[in-house]
């Protein structure tokens, strides 16, 4: 994350500048694209990656259908338990959203991005056909433990807020969730990073510094059967591709954005232009989770957009600024759209033998979305992105995802 000003000392906290690996082989490993939890639509071996992939093939992963008592359908849900599915007549199970995710360290010394994907993380009335799906990209700065904690806890906090009862106000639900996440981060820092629940193995745990100078962006999308709810805090971004048009569903929180600049000044802070606009000359964004030492100038309140889904929706792209710094919204949508259109849509719903078990890691994806996320990541690296790059592509087309 390029958010921390390198070499600026705030009290006893200093963020080290990213350095190039000294070993050629080490640098090659850091530039390697890491793929997670890709499951193809069938049990065949997926063809080679796009050109330039070094001839590597994705691992062969079998589609799994668990054997359960006849007449009742089950699926594993993100918390590790099982839920009955409301199965329509004919034995056809509801589809889960297809997605692809790629995350790479790139030219940075450390990997500070985290990605969370939880299909059907929350059910309404125990019915999978009306379940909600969670996608989050967290871009850490200063270190990785805040982004890791967001990955582990944000979806659980949102789920608790949704299940609290009553009609859902998405603006209030997501705002409360982000504020609770920020409080958990602050409390874990107060108790010492090692005493927190995060499994991060970041430099903070090794050096035990002032961890209140660590933070993370957060862009979260919750897909419902009829809505796309996006909550953003920082400069990661969500973009919707609708009928070939790129529609930003979030606005970057940069310190020189007029409304953000006014808010910072009114709270007694300053924006100093030092290699770009930075809060107090340090942080290159005006909102983030964590960063306690910059409050009240840097806040964790998200901006929330609620977009009605339509038949013209093609895909949703969530990514850290490692992509958006060098790739425009229009280019990203064009690349993703090209990959999705390369796959023929099925003429009939999938039958039971083609269903994929959804596990705690959210292992539901397909080749087209995976290719889109890989190609976007490669494009960012080819354009010399200096940051970690994390990309999630979600297929929104009718007949392709849960809707």
User: Residue 14: how many CB atoms within 10 A of its CB?
Assistant: 17
Q: At what angle do helices 367-382 and 329-341 cross, to 10 degrees?
A: 140
Domain membership of residue 201 (yes or no) is: yes
Domain membership of residue 340 (yes or no) is: yes
Task: Give the CATH number, domain containing residue 247.
Answer: 3.60.40.10
Residue 2: predicted pLDDT: 56
User: Residue 293: how many CB atoms within 10 A of its CB?
Assistant: 19
Domain membership of residue 187 (yes or no) is: yes
Domain membership of residue 94 (yes or no) is: yes
| Segments forming the whole domain that contains residue 324 | 56-395
The token pair at 50 is 């796009």
| 399 band by pLDDT with thresholds 50, 70 and 90 | low
DSSP 299: B
Give the 3-state secondary structure of residue 12: coil
Decide which of 357 and 228 is more confident.
228
Residue 310: predicted pLDDT: 95
Domain membership of residue 383 (yes or no) is: yes
Residue 55: predicted pLDDT: 41
Q: Any idea which residue has 């692809």 for tokens?
A: 100
pLDDT digits (tens, 9 = 90+) for 340-385: 998 655 443 443 333 333 333 333 467 899 999 999 999 999 999 9
Domain count, the chain: 1
Whole-model pTM: value is 0.74
Distance of CA 130 to the CA centre of its chain: 22
CA distance 285 to 253: 6
pLDDT digits (tens, 9 = 90+) for 99-155: 999 999 999 999 999 999 999 888 766 555 668 999 999 999 999 989 999 999 999
Domain membership of residue 106 (yes or no) is: yes
Domain membership of residue 323 (yes or no) is: yes
Average pLDDT, integer, range 69-78: 36
Cα dihedral 153, 396, 364, 46 sign: negative
Domain membership of residue 60 (yes or no) is: yes
| 326 band by pLDDT with thresholds 50, 70 and 90 | very high
| Residue 231: C-alpha distances to residues 95, 235, 301, 342 (Å) | 25, 12, 9, 30
Query: Given a cut of 60, is residue 70 above it in pLDDT?
Result: no
């Amino acid at each position: 994350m390029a958010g921390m000003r390198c070499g600026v000392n705030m009290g006893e906290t200093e963020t080290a500048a990213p350095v190039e690996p000294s070993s050629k082989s080490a640098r090659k490993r850091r530039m390697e694209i890491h793929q997670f939890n890709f499951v193809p639509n069938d049990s065949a071996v997926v063809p080679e990656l796009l050109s330039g992939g070094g001839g590597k093939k994705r691992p062969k992963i079998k589609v799994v259908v668990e054997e359960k008592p006849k007449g009742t359908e089950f699926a594993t849900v993100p918390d590790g338990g099982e839920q009955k599915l409301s199965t329509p007549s004919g034995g056809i199970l509801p589809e889960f959203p297809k997605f692809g995710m790629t995350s790479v360290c790139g030219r940075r010394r450390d990997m500070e991005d985290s990605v969370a994907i939880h299909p059907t993380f929350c059910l309404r009335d125990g019915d999978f056909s009306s379940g909600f799906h969670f996608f989050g990209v967290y871009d850490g700065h200063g270190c990785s433990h805040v982004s890791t904690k967001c990955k582990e806890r944000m979806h659980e906090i949102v789920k608790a807020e949704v299940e609290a009862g009553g009609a859902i106000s998405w603006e209030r639900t997501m705002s409360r969730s982000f504020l609770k996440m920020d409080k958990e981060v602050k409390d874990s820092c107060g108790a010492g990073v090692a005493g927190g629940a995060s499994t991060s193995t970041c430099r903070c745990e090794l050096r035990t510094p002032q961890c209140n100078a660590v933070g993370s962006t957060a862009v979260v999308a919750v897909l419902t059967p009829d809505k796309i709810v996006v909550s953003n805090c920082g400069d990661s971004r969500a973009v919707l591709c609708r009928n070939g048009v790129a529609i930003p569903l979030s606005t970057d929180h940069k310190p020189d954005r007029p409304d953000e600049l006014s808010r910072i000044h009114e709270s007694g802070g300053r924006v100093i232009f030092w290699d770009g606009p930075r809060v107090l000359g340090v942080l290159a964004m005006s909102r983030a989770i964590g960063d306690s030492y910059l409050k009240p100038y840097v806040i964790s309140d998200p901006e929330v957009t609620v977009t009605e889904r339509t038949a013209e929706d093609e895909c949703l792209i969530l990514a850290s600024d490692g992509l958006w710094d060098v790739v425009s919204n229009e280019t990203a949508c064009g690349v993703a759209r090209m990959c999705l259109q390369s796959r023929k849509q099925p003429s009939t719903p999938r039958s039971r033998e083609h269903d994929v078990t959804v596990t705690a890691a959210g292992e539901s994806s397909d080749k087209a979305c995976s290719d889109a996320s890989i190609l976007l990541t490669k494009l960012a690296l080819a354009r010399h992105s200096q940051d970690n790059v994390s990309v999630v592509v979600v297929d929104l087309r009718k007949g392709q995802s849960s809707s």
